[in-house]
Chain A
Amino acid sequence: MDLSYSAEHEAFRQQVIAFLKKHKTLAPVGAGLRSAKTRDWQALLIEHGYTARTIPREYGGFGAKPDLLKGRIIAEEFARAQVPGGLSGQGIAMLVPTLLELGTEEQKQQFIRPTLSGEMIWCQGYSEPGAGSDLASLKTSAVLEGENWLVNGQKIWTSTAQIADWIFCLVRTEPDAPKHKGISFLLFRMDTPGIEVRPLVDMTGLANFNETFFTDVVVPKNQIVGFRGEGWRVANTILGNERDSLGNPNATLSRLNALIRLMKSETVGGISLISMPAYRDRLMKIQGRVMALRFNDMRILSAKLNRKDASLARLIVKLQGTELRHDLEALAIDAMGEAGLCFGESDYLRDGGSWQYQYMYFLGLIIGGGTSQIQKNIISERGLGMPREPRVNANTAT
């Protein structure tokens, strides 16, 4: 066990701290994705290598050699200073790594730079009403007619579709092939005629997602990533990236600290919640679970650095991280009691209603990105080597 950082990394940490001290007033707090302040901040972070760090310069990144610890130091110091880091929409988090791996040179040139700068916003067209956990059964079709694909069908859970410029979308191009082999990965503009976006209001009262409909949408033939029928493989190069970011224990730690502050200040009958044994015990249980997942996270990082196997430790992060976060937010609501019922502006609302919102939002994340039940299938099959459940067709089930 060696928890020390090298002199080079310590010096790097000091650089990040100095940068934050000097520039933190420029950070866009509460500014929109399209605002100049957001773009300027993104440009400044790329210039210093605090976001898009390892993406080649020729595509608009900083072009540094991969260094996991430096990436970690940046995340830690930005979190400590409570300064927003670089942009992290689905285009940056998912499409850019995919294009770097599988895109043509022309696609890399065309898409990566404007995506990184925040000028080109993307949405993801994967799930459909009939293709959720069983994503590969998706039905949205694309038929090649001359020089264009003709896309028809419906997507759901397309977050940011209402503001996106482009979509990366899974479509069925080979209807006669086995389901995993008949999918292709297309890119197209969201202002193409035939696209309709309907906001999907969720339990939080906001429309975090949309339904997106395609009617004879014309997409140029060359706007495909990878070959025809390879879309499943293309999509899977990045699905892993998405899961890793859900349930991040370092975000949960800062939420735990906020919960401790809340429970110190919140009183019932004049007694602070933190001094009441039943609440205090629940808080400590949560703290123990946060600790376990944080050490698990350090183990995963270290295993990547030192090329050790931590695949089991990694497989459980989404399941454990999102469930823990939901439990943490739930404790805050219980600690507030009736005040936890407030929703919307009033004199009685605590912390801007963030506890109520996150309590619901994290229920969404337990379901999204592979439900907890799908996670348990993956953990038992890949992690423990247990067999798949036999297939049963609807019409033969008795």
Chain B
Amino acid sequence: MPSDRGLIRARHWLRLSEWADMLPVLAGRAAWRLGPPLVGIALFLALWQVAHWHYGAFILPSPWQTAAATLTALSGLAGWAALGATLARVLVALGLSAVIGGGIGLLAGYVTLIRATLAPVATILLGMPATAWVILTMIWFGPSHGAILFTIAIVTGPILYIGTVDAVRSRDRHLEDMAASFGATALARFHRVALRQILAALGPVIGIALALGFKVAIMAELVTNVAGLGAEMARARAQMDIDMALANVALAVTGLLLIEHLLIRPLQTRTGHWQGPDA
């Protein structure tokens, strides 16, 4: 009979051989998952480089020059302060519009009268160009921190409102009937059954609102010249510093990606994990 140690060793070998068998499959899966995005990034950088060769560094710096300028911007406190100011504004304004737009959307999703009353208002607000809001808030509030916050909130609020209304309306009400049959109160049905579905449906909408909030923040900062990435871009434009302008664009995109991957994606995963990776 084989000893215990022999059995353990045999089990280890078995596991190792299983892993060895699985390795090509896992590598194939990883290549399938990561390959296409990497090819896409490489293609984008290659096109950028070709355009740089064609137009020259004065019009379009190379990706490498832009990366160097980005590092230069981040090597000083001013770069971090600009990035931090824009990020903070986007987060505060998005939180504000989530509370107001999402809150009213929740009410409107449940109450037909509120929904019908607010439908034309939401359509008008959605149709207003972000630039118009920037001009209006400049006149109303002057070039201030509050003006930028208001602009981001008023642009993203209607999106979150409509997203919340749709999320409430598209929830599976059969599940709430099921909960009612087990004696769940209206509050318990909302808290334990409806809210989970609403949050899951809201994930992609929050992602869109975030991206839009960033664009609006930079535009508003650029116009109002209030500290932030937009103001840095305005400065780069005034000094005809194309490297710095692109570095600020790169910082804005990086900031957006950071928030999306550190905040939004985990929230989406947490609230909508049952819908599968492609949902």
Instruction: Please say whether chains A and B are actual partners in one complex.
Output: no
